[in-house]
Amino acid sequence: MEEEIGLLGLGIMGMAMSRTLLRHGANLTVWNRTPSKCEQLVEYGASVAETAAAVVKKCKYTIAMLSDPSAALSVVFDKDGVLEQICKGKGYIDMSTVDADTSSKISEAITSKGGSFLEAPVSGSRKLAQDGELVILAAGVKALYEEAHCLFDIMGKKTFFLGHVGNGAKMKLLVNMLMGSEEPEIAGESVLHSRPLRVHLWLKIQLIFSFESTFAVRSHAITSLLKLLIPVCWLHFQREFYWLKKVNWTLNLFSTHWTEVDLLIHCY
Ligand SMILES: NC(=O)c1ccc[n+]([C@@H]2O[C@H](COP(=O)([O-])OP(=O)(O)OC[C@H]3O[C@@H](n4cnc5c(N)ncnc54)[C@H](OP(=O)(O)O)[C@@H]3O)[C@@H](O)[C@H]2O)c1
């Protein structure tokens, strides 16, 4: 890609993704809250900007890879942030793991300034980021997804477009639930730590959605799925009410994005 690409956030993942992009010849400008981390990338050809706003000013597409929702919001809304320079013709792609509400807030702000927004959380690790083998769960402006596809192809082995903003965040949660999680705070919320339990759940869901299933098979699968989920949900209800909302998101995603969920599972 000829255009200037920006990357905000040089933590474990952002650093590995930047190295991968540079290896593939991207014109990359980076910014990090702790500026010293940027220096490591200069010898690989990256330019360094002093603020997130300066990156957006220079670049057509800016990727963010930040630790959590508060970091993602701060980099967009605070002084010298993304919002100061985003405008028509520029795209902002947030690849951090954040909740759907945070993503929607960022999307609305970017769009109100004329920019395009994609959320694109990833499933993977530092090693997979280094090898360009991430699974990318994009949602938002389809045109930006298509324009940025070559960047996703460099960073990932498979990219999904999941429709409107929020679906990427929810699908990321679903992946964490099914596969376990690399992020402790989310892993702590996941009930499905045990592999046999996950496989059991997955088989029931397959039965419910499979075209070949008869009514009787489906109702049996639904009943036993509920028997599995209800105690699990109850346990978590006692600990954290918010978790139920996430279960609901997940079940909605199963029904609205069945094809993508099925394809996604086959990435593992
Ligand atoms: N690590 C994994 O294996 C993995 C896998 C899949 C997805 N993820 C997700 O990817 C994202 C990045 O993960 P990571 O492992 O790279 O995290 P990390 O190593 O902790 O890096 C976090 C980055 O966010 C920056 N940051 C934090 N708070 C900030 C703030 N208030 N303002 C500006 N910048 C701030 C940090 O800047 P400083 O350098 O200045 O601290 C750093 O660049 C997370 O959302 C994570 O859930 C991680």
Residue carrying structure tokens 């959590």: 68
- Cβ contact 249:173 at 8 Å: yes
How far is the centre of ligand 1, averaged over its atoms, from the C-alpha of 262 (Å)? 29
- pLDDT attached to residue 195: 59
Cα 188 to Cα 64, 200, 236: the distances in Å are 25, 20, 11
- pLDDT attached to residue 220: 77
Ligand 1: which of 15, 65, 66 to mutate, most ligand atoms within 8 Å of CB? 66
- pLDDT attached to residue 189: 40
Global confidence as pTM: 0.77
Please tell me the residue having the least CA distance from ligand 1 atom 5: 125
3-class DSSP assignment, residue 52: helix
Q: Mean pLDDT, consecutive 10-residue segments, the chain of 268 residues? A: 93 98 97 96 97 98 96 98 98 95 96 98 94 94 96 94 90 71 41 59 69 74 75 63 58 65 62
Q: Which of 166, 157, 201, 165 is nearest to 180 (CA)?
A: 201
How far is the centre of ligand 1, averaged over its atoms, from the C-alpha of 268 (Å)? 24
Q: State the closest ligand 1 atom to the C-alpha of 121, by its place in the atom list counted from 1.
A: 7
Q: State the closest ligand 1 atom to the C-alpha of 134, by its place in the atom list counted from 1.
A: 6
Ligand 1: which of 67, 76, 182 to mutate, most ligand atoms within 8 Å of CB? 67
Query: Phi and psi (nearest 5°) for 117?
Result: -130, 140
How far is the centre of ligand 1, averaged over its atoms, from the C-alpha of 9 (Å)? 6
Please tell me the residue having the least CA distance from ligand 1 atom 32: 71
Instruction: Tally Cβ neighbours within 10 Å of residue 69.
Output: 18
How far is the centre of ligand 1, averaged over its atoms, from the C-alpha of 244 (Å)? 26
Catalytic residue positions?
172
- Cβ contact 238:134 at 8 Å: no
Parse the chain into domains and list their residue ranges: 4-164, 171-265
Please tell me the residue having the least CA distance from ligand 1 atom 8: 97
How far is the centre of ligand 1, averaged over its atoms, from the C-alpha of 5 (Å)? 19
- pLDDT attached to residue 229: 72
Half-sphere exposure of 56 (CA within 13 A, CB side): 26
Q: State the closest ligand 1 atom to the C-alpha of 10, by its place in the atom list counted from 1.
A: 43
Spelled out in words, what is the top-level CATH class assigned to the domain 4-164?
Answer: alpha beta
Residues with CB under 6 A from ligand 1: 9-14, 32-34, 37, 65-68, 71, 74-75, 96-97, 122, 124-126, 182-183
Alpha helix segments (H runs only) across 84-194? 100-112, 126-130, 142-147, 149-155, 167-179, 184-187
How far is the centre of ligand 1, averaged over its atoms, from the C-alpha of 259 (Å)? 30
Cα 81 to Cα 72, 76, 107, 148, 243: the distances in Å are 10, 5, 14, 22, 31
Ligand 1: which of 10, 13, 102, 157 to mutate, most ligand atoms within 8 Å of CB? 13
The secondary structure element, H or E, covering residue 238 is helix 215-239
- pLDDT attached to residue 186: 39
